[in-house]
Chains A and B, each alone.
Chain A
Amino acid sequence: MSDWLEATFTQQRPRAIAALTRVFRDIDTAEDAFADACLKALTVWKQDGAPRDPLAWLLATARNAGIDSLRKSQRRAAILSRHNEEFQPMLAETPDPDEMRDDVLRLLFICCHPELDRRDQIALALRIVAGLSVEEIASGFLVKLKAMEQRITRAKKKIASHTVAFETPNPEERGARLGEVSLMIYLMFNEGWSTSAGPSQINLTLCEEAIRLARLLVALFPAMGEQAALLALLLLQHARRDARIDRQGKLVALDDQDRTLWNRTDIAEATAFLQKAQRINHRGAYVIQAAIAAAHARAPSPEDTDWALIESHYAALHALQPTPVVRLNQIAAQARLHGPQFALEAMESLSEDLSNYRWFHAMRGALLQDVGDHRAAIAAFEAVMTLAPTGPECVAIKDKISSSKKELGHL
């Protein structure tokens, strides 16, 4: 029985912790109070059935539990005296949705402390907001449990010393928080999608949690195109998870993926959110990236892909984010339209900026193979190998090197 209830707790956790953090002005107290409420729910709900509004029940119970433990705790006497007047036992009532969305946004924003390393921000959000265990987070980041424990403890100390205003933010402030939090979620997905270290290429836990948080933002801010677009983008990427790694754990390039393995349910849902974002007339970076991913998802094969459309999306993205990596992606689309020689020449202007970017060399190697310059291709692939590729990437690159060597042998 308890795992059915656990699913409800997991679902309610971000909102509950967020509201309780506002009440207690302290994340640890909020987490303890929520844990107490869940424990109580395990007995009470089993006896009386789950309440119609589980969040309201959990919040009221947690609030009362939190007050109780504060009253008993000497250590927190100071907090109590500061807020004594607010701490009246409360009945379960549906929380105000406007207040709730600012609470959740604030909690996520607190995790995005500017002095924290991005990966520590992500780890904190996974621990506090998503409620993952430290063990799960450690395995998500492929680090030792002990090391992750220390990092989270350190990060928690840091955010405790940093005050984020608890007043309702003005629209500008809210927009800034939303942008920062969305970026953290996007990077959480990327961290899972392309783990920075270790033998496995994808860490699905991080991807799934990022999608769950993106869903949460969409639920809280339904009129925001940017968040609908972010969710669409993540779902479209995630849809390819089963096709991206083969049975030997080898990374499969987009062109070589078995598209029947792409998850159609995810693609359909992503399409719905992309359409919503476009209807709102949102034109940010996520919506363009989602449109690109959707163009791939629609195409039955690489040859049937609308490369001209994709190229124009990358041009639009480059206008918004004029980075060498975006330009490289635009050139990759141009290679489809104008051939490998054209792309190789276009890439030259990026060779300095992207000299340490392994995808630059991997793409260059593939294009050089296409024009038949295998000697240069091997050099490019060897450059990839010096730039710390992941295990599955290594295997794929080694394959390419040996196929070029074979070609040279034939000549």
Chain B
Amino acid sequence: MIYAITIYGEAGVFEALPKDRQDEVMSGHGALQTALKERGEFVSMKLMPPTSAVMVEPATSEGKPPLITDGPFADTKENFLGFYAADFNDLDEALTYAKLISSPIARLEVRPVAWAGGAISSE
């Protein structure tokens, strides 16, 4: 089963950490990436800060084009920062790998993937 390990946290907090703590976080990511690479295909992305995003909102009425806005608006709560996805034997194994990148500044969600296409495929 493919699991996604998604990372939530507050944008900017990592950058405010002292260098040695940043290195600590990054070494966790390094370890996870090395471990995943050994198992086969995986995908991983770190997103730019939410402020760099542009929103495509649903059209307000039928026949109209979708609305492009420059949100998201000032939201100080947790942001979606990035994710990993790979094929794991079971939830326990996915959790074991997720723990490698656990840190006080991130909340992780381990969620089974219903369908995946592209570099890793569920089919």
Chain B, 22-54, contact with A by CB distance < 8 Å: what is the 0/1 string? Answer: 000000000000000000000000001111101
Chain B interface main SS type: loop
Question: Looking at the complex, which one of A11, A55, A212, A276 makes contact with B70 (CB distance below 8 Å)?
Answer: A276
Question: Chain B: which residue is nearest A104 at the CB level?
Answer: B74
Q: Is A218 a contact partner of B104 (Cβ separation < 8 A)?
A: no
Q: Is B54 a contact partner of A7 (Cβ separation < 8 A)?
A: no
Given contacts A4-B105, A222-B70, A280-B70, contact A12 B52 (CB under 8 A): no
> B76 near A: Cβ within 8 Å?
yes
Contacts of A268 in B (CB 8 A): 48
Q: Is B21 a contact partner of A3 (Cβ separation < 8 A)?
A: yes
Question: Chain B: which residue is nearest A53 at the CB level?
Answer: B77
Q: How large is the interface on A (under 10, 10 to 19, 20 to 34, 35 or more residues)?
A: 35 or more
Question: Chain A: which residue is nearest B107 at the CB level?
Answer: A52
Question: Looking at the complex, which one of B21, B51, B77 makes contact with A219 (CB distance below 8 Å)?
Answer: B51
Q: Is A15 a contact partner of B48 (Cβ separation < 8 A)?
A: no
Q: How many A-B pairs with Cβ below 8 Å?
A: 77
Given contacts A52-B78, A100-B74, A276-B52, contact A215 B12 (CB under 8 A): yes
> B66 near A: Cβ within 8 Å?
no
Question: Chain A: which residue is nearest B74 at the CB level?
Answer: A97
**With A and B bound together, what is the CA distance between A97 and B73 in angstroms?**
8
Chain A proximity of B81: nearest CB distance (Å): 13
Chain A proximity of B92: nearest CB distance (Å): 23
Q: Is B48 a contact partner of A4 (Cβ separation < 8 A)?
A: no
> A92 near B: Cβ within 8 Å?
no
Question: Looking at the complex, which one of B15, B71, B105 makes contact with A222 (CB distance below 8 Å)?
Answer: B71
Question: Looking at the complex, which one of A4, A53, A55, A218 makes contact with B51 (CB distance below 8 Å)?
Answer: A218
> B17 near A: Cβ within 8 Å?
yes
Residue of A7, A8, A95, A268 with highest tally of chain B CB at under 10 A: A7
**With A and B bound together, what is the CA distance between A317 and B102 in angstroms?**
48
**With A and B bound together, what is the CA distance between A54 and B14 in angstroms?**
15
Question: Chain B: which residue is nearest A225 at the CB level?
Answer: B70
Residue of A3, A55, A100, A212 with highest tally of chain B CB at under 10 A: A3
> A398 near B: Cβ within 8 Å?
no
Q: Is A4 a contact partner of B104 (Cβ separation < 8 A)?
A: yes
Chain A, 9-21, contact with B by CB distance < 8 Å: what is the 0/1 string? Answer: 0111001000000
Q: Is A11 a contact partner of B16 (Cβ separation < 8 A)?
A: yes
Chosen A-B contacts, 26 in total, with CB atoms closer than 8 Å, are A3-B21, A4-B17, A4-B21, A4-B103, A4-B104, A8-B10, A11-B10, A11-B13, A52-B78, A94-B76, A95-B76, A97-B73, A97-B75, A100-B74, A212-B15, A215-B49, A219-B49, A219-B74, A222-B51, A222-B71, A223-B70, A223-B71, A268-B48, A273-B52, A276-B52, A280-B70
Q: Which residues of A contact B (CB under 8 A)?
A: 1, 3-8, 10-12, 15, 50, 52-55, 94-95, 97, 100-101, 212, 215, 218-220, 222-223, 268-269, 272-273, 276, 279-280
**Knowing that A97-B74, A219-B74, A268-B48 are A-B contacts, what are 4 other residue pairs whose CB atoms are under 8 Å apart, sorted by A's residue number?**
A4-B21, A11-B13, A15-B76, A272-B48
